[in-house]
Amino acid sequence: MESFYYDCLKGIKKAKGDSSEMITIDGVVGVGKTTLMDIVVKELGYTPFEEPVINNPILDKFYYDRKRYSFPLQVFFLNERFNHIKHASKINKSVLDRSIYGDVIFAKMLKDGGEMSEEEFNIYLSLFKNMIEHCEPPTLMIYLEVSLEEAVRRITSRGRSYEIDTEIAYWERLNKEYRDYFKVYNASPLLKINVDRLDFENNQSDRDHVLSLIKNKLQALK
């Protein structure tokens, strides 16, 4: 429910606009976050903070046994994202592939689906709220919005076996939670970009369009 996300965001620091320039890119699995981060790094000169999925010892196990690994995976991500945003806030221009702010989306979905116990979720939520109080919000949050059909197409196209084997209902629930979260997100300025018909990885015109949206939004915030 939207009220849950509103409560999670209530009372946290709000972006002041006078700190280091930090961009966060968020959205469902396969939407193009890492690709856009790489473009922002190359074209705009930002320092990247990649999502901790490459050297993650739990992620592939989680997709095959979510009930067993949901809690340790979420704690792993939470800790890594807290570490990332602490370091990013000290850099002049940084861009993050996801951040601690949207981490709670996954934990809530796992709890609602019975894959994380109520006790585990309460421990996670306490950690999240304690950490978020010490985080500097991004200068700009970019939400890459996508339809379920396009998200599944992109997930299938990139060919990670543990993602392909995951049931469509999981991606459907995740996409809904993302939409609910960003209806109430208010920790920083937000730029929402629907990417259903955009291919900024291979199409130069689409890439220029998205970069223009980002640069114009950043300029308007100054």
Q: What is the pLDDT of residues 90-115, one digit of tens each?
A: 999 999 999 999 999 999 999 999 99
Domains of the chain, first to last: 2-7+19-221 (3.40.50.300)
Residues annotated as part of the active site: 97
Burial class (CB in 10 A: 0-12, 13-18, 19+), 95: buried
Residue 7 or residue 165, greater confidence: 7
Q: Give the CA count within 13 Å in the CB-facing half-sphere of 140.
A: 21
> pTM higher than 0.75, yes or no?
yes
Query: Once rounded to an integer, what is the mean pLDDT over residues 26-47?
Result: 95
Residue 56, SS3 per DSSP: coil
